[in-house]
């Protein structure tokens, strides 16, 4: 059916009999269309959330409550049925699909269809819009009691933390949530949460009942994600030990598989959406930035996400907005904290002070997490973001303003555009979202995903096939593996380590290591290295990688950053020293956070490959102690883990006592929150309470 004739803004302005007549006409048209339309017809479905914004809130429409619930039942949007006013039949349906284990959440028809597939034991690949409620399906599976050991693969650590909070809140008495590399699972039920880089390196997974892969489209190497190979290898490892799998993602039309695929699955594609969206076309506006700021100044658009192409663009626009607008008076304490704990020279602090949040890959995780929390609480009504937020983290955005048409310098395709647009509106908060388009959207096209692990292994890249078990290889693959072992002089375990940086990069590193050894460069060391030993390894790394990939301008600066990080007594001292000594364009100020991210995984992996090639030349060499410290920023493991869970190190390091484990440090923080300890400001107390999911005493 077509709803183009319905002028919803005008309808919302009606009252009395005029409003009643219009709503009756709409409901009658929708009822007649239920049997004539497809079950997931977006134009039919969007009537329900639009009516939900009117019927329960207008006195003159009280007599329509029961009819509205009947229409919600007929369309399958059972979560919109009003159990207080619905007739007996409609109420029974809603109660049947309401899950008390999840706090009384009511599922809709398509969620039930997906669960029925999974409860039969079949593997399922689900493609559904962002507002479908895919995460609820994972929770429903866990609540069923059918699965004891579950692995969940997520694309970012930010999303790991979001899942961790929700799962611990709902299942803390049923499952152990294993998220950090040093977490040790017990014998009982456990949920392994991890990015592909973490899960591929776990040796304690055992037999898995269910593997869940979120944002599964990233398995397709054609999406130009450099982490795709590792993701495919990690998922291959998990599926090889898993009884069942469930892949989730948005807006996929087909999944390509080899003729004789190793794993069978059902593919469920649905357009079923639980919210409606109003689209505003601003492509013809001359002063787009001016119009953007005009829309951001309207509180009826809040909370608003602004999608831009790059971190630099997000920073620049947020600062420009703060020059002429103030959209919140609740974020001043956050800005003050950033000045005191990161450095007053960080340019985005001014934007935060006036109510503009920023979310991209160069924002520290705990700070980015708090930005999102304040955004959802409408304390930061506007959030400038890049694709790091669009791909995964849930927000309570009412409005999405798509200001750019590219990611970095590449125009996004219709699939990515649909994902960005799908962030507008949120079930239970904003039934009707808004999307503002500032550029021509890409033409609609079907999206097919071709995961490497569902394809022909003989055609797969070397970086993937080195992870295949012996029973899954062919003669052609065995020959390729033999050639790789001979060229790199590595065994199979060494090839898998080399693949973590890319086999081509590893081969280049091998050559540079050999040259450095001939030149007697100090790359042979054990334990804790001196400056010149670190520099010697860095000199090799920057021959295959640009220093800017690690947030530095040169090998010497990168080495200096590492030295200062390990010699600083606290993270706060390190960041304030960086801020004080920073020279150059302030737009590059946040490169220090890029450096810190590189210390977690990228740099340690490259160091490990260099070490492996040094040892292959029969030298006694062991970088492990240094690399373990580097990956956790030369801080206690507990501090690093809490930072990933939303508590910045600048706060937790004040409370850390040598010998603390996670439980003792967390308990000390909880006590400080509960008693209002002076070592926490009022703002910090609220921050820590939110991160630990505890209520602050009034």
The number of angstroms, rounded, from the C-alpha of 184 to the middle of its chain's C-alpha atoms is 24
Positive or negative, the CA dihedral 413, 41, 423, 238 is: negative
Helix orientation angle between 503-518 and 475-488, rounded to the nearest 10 degrees = 20
Which residue, among 142, 426, 456, has the nearest Cα to 277 in the 3D structure?
426
Residue with tokens 């456990």: 190
Distance, in Å, from the CA atom of 499 to the CA atom of 506, rounded to the nearest integer, reads 8
The encoded tokens of residue 370 equal 């708090």
Show the CA angle centred on residue 231, arms to residues 424 and 509, nearest 5°. Answer: 125
pLDDT given for residue 429 in this prediction: 86
The secondary structure of the chain in percent helix, strand, coil, rounded to multiples of 5, reads 50, 10, 35
pLDDT given for residue 94 in this prediction: 97
Which residue, among 326, 306, 323, has the nearest Cα to 384 in the 3D structure?
306
Going by the DSSP 8-state scheme, the letter that residue 430 receives in this structure is B
Report pLDDT digits (tens) over 186-210: 999 999 999 999 999 999 999 999 9
Distance, in Å, from the CA atom of 550 to the CA atom of 511, rounded to the nearest integer, reads 22
* Residue 475 neighbours by CB under 8 Å, 6+ apart: none
The encoded tokens of residue 621 equal 């060499």
- Helix or strand or coil: residue 443? coil
Residue with tokens 């010998």: 659
pLDDT given for residue 1 in this prediction: 44
The number of angstroms, rounded, from the C-alpha of 10 to the middle of its chain's C-alpha atoms is 38
Residue with tokens 């001359």: 286
Which residue, among 133, 51, 159, has the nearest Cα to 427 in the 3D structure?
133
* Residue 678 neighbours by CB under 8 Å, 6+ apart: none
The widest CA-to-CA distance across the chain, in whole angstroms, is 91
Q: Assign domain 109-269 one CATH number from 3.20.20.70, 3.10.20.30, 3.40.50.300, 1.10.10.10.
A: 3.40.50.300
The encoded tokens of residue 393 equal 């983290």
Distance, in Å, from the CA atom of 51 to the CA atom of 44, rounded to the nearest integer, reads 12
Distance, in Å, from the CA atom of 616 to the CA atom of 487, rounded to the nearest integer, reads 12
Mean pLDDT, consecutive 10-residue stretches, the chain (698 aa), reads: 72 96 95 90 94 95 96 97 95 96 95 97 96 94 98 94 94 96 95 97 96 96 91 97 97 89 93 94 96 97 96 96 96 98 97 97 95 95 88 84 92 92 89 96 95 94 96 94 96 97 98 98 97 98 98 98 98 98 92 97 98 97 98 97 97 96 96 96 96 86
Q: Assign domain 276-437 one CATH number from 1.10.3720.10, 3.40.50.300, 3.40.50.620, 1.10.510.10.
A: 3.40.50.300
Distance, in Å, from the CA atom of 597 to the CA atom of 577, rounded to the nearest integer, reads 18
pLDDT given for residue 259 in this prediction: 66
* Residue 18 neighbours by CB under 8 Å, 6+ apart: none
Distance, in Å, from the CA atom of 574 to the CA atom of 566, rounded to the nearest integer, reads 9
pLDDT given for residue 392 in this prediction: 61
Give alpha helix (H) positions in 342-413.
348-353, 365-376, 387-390
Report pLDDT digits (tens) over 108-136: 999 999 999 999 999 999 999 988 999 99
Question: What residues pair up with 151 in beta bridges, in sequence order?
Answer: 192, 211
């Amino acid at each position: 059916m077509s709803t183009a004739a319905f002028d919803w803004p005008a309808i919302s302005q009606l009252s009395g009999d005029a409003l009643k007549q219009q709503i009756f006409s709409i409901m009658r048209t929708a009822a007649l269309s239920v049997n004539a339309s497809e079950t997931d017809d977006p134009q039919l479905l969007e009537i329900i959330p639009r009516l939900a914004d009117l019927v329960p809130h207008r006195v003159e429409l009280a007599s329509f409550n029961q009819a509205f619930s009947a229409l919600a039942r007929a369309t399958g949007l059972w979560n919109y049925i009003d159990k207080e006013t619905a007739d007996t039949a409609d109420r029974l349906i809603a109660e049947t699909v309401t899950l008390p284990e999840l706090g009384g959440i009511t599922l809709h028809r398509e969620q039930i269809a997906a669960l029925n597939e999974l409860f039969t034991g079949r593997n399922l690949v689900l493609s559904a819009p962002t507002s479908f409620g895919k995460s609820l399906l994972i929770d429903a599976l866990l609540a069923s009691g059918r699965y004891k050991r579950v692995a969940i693969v997520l694309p970012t650590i930010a999303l790991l933390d979001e899942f961790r909070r929700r799962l611990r809140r709902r299942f803390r008495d049923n499952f152990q949530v294993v998220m950090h590399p040093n977490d040790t699972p017990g014998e009982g039920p456990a949920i392994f949460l991890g990015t592909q880089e973490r899960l591929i390196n776990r040796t304690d997974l055992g037999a898995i009942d269910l593997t869940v892969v979120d944002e599964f489209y990233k398995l397709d190497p054609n999406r130009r994600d450099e982490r795709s190979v590792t993701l495919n290898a990690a998922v291959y490892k998990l599926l090889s030990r898993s009884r069942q799998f469930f892949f989730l993602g948005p807006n996929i039309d087909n999944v390509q598989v080899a003729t004789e695929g190793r794993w069978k699955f059902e593919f469920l594609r649905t357009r079923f959406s639980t919210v409606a969206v109003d689209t505003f076309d601003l492509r013809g506006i001359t002063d787009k930035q001016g119009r953007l700021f005009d829309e951001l100044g309207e509180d009826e658009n809040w909370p608003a996400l602004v999608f831009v192409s790059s971190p630099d663009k997000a920073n620049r626009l947020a600062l420009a907005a703060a020059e002429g607008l103030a959209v919140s008076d609740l974020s001043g304490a956050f800005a003050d904290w950033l000045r005191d704990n990161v450095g007053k020279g960080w340019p985005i602090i001014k934007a935060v002070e006036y109510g503009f949040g920023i979310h991209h890959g160069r924002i520290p995780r705990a700070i980015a997490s708090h930005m999102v929390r304040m955004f959802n609480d409408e304390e930061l009504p506007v959030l400038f973001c890049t694709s790091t937020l669009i791909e995964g983290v849930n927000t309570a955005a009412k409005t999405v303003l798509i200001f750019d048409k590219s990611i970095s310098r590449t125009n996004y395709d219709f699939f990515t555009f649909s994902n960005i647009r799908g962030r507008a509106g949120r079930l239970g908060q904003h039934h009707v979202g808004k999307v503002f388009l500032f550029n021509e959207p890409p033409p609609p096209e079907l999206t097919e995903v071709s995961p490497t692990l569902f394809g022909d292994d003989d055609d797969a890249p070397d970086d993937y096939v080195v992870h295949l078990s012996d029973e899954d290889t062919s003669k052609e693959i065995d020959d390729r593996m033999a050639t790789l072992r001979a060229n790199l002089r590595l065994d199979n375990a060494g090839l898998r380590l080399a693949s973590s940086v890319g086999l081509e990069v590893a081969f280049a590193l091998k050559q540079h290591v050999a040259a450095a050894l001939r030149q007697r460069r100090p790359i042979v060391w054990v334990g804790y290295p001196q400056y010149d030993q670190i520099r010697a390894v860095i000199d090799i790394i920057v021959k295959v990688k640009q220093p800017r990939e690690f947030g530095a301008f040169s090998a010497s600066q990168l080495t200096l950053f590492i030295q200062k990080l390990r010699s600083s007594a606290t993270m706060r001292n390190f960041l304030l020293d960086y801020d004080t000594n920073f020279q150059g364009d302030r737009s590059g100020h946040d490169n220090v956070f890029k450096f810190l991210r590189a210390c977690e995984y990228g740099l340690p992996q490259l160091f490990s490959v260099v070490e492996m090639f040094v040892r292959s030349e029969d030298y006694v060499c062991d970088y492990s102690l240094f690399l373990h410290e580097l990956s956790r920023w030369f801080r206690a493991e507990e501090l690093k883990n809490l930072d990933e869970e939303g508590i910045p190190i600048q706060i937790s390091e004040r409370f850390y006592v040598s010998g603390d484990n996670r439980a003792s440090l967390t308990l000390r923080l909880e006590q400080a929150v509960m008693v209002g300890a002076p070592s926490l400001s009022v703002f910090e107390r609220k921050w820590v309470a939110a991160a630990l999911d505890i209520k602050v005493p009034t």
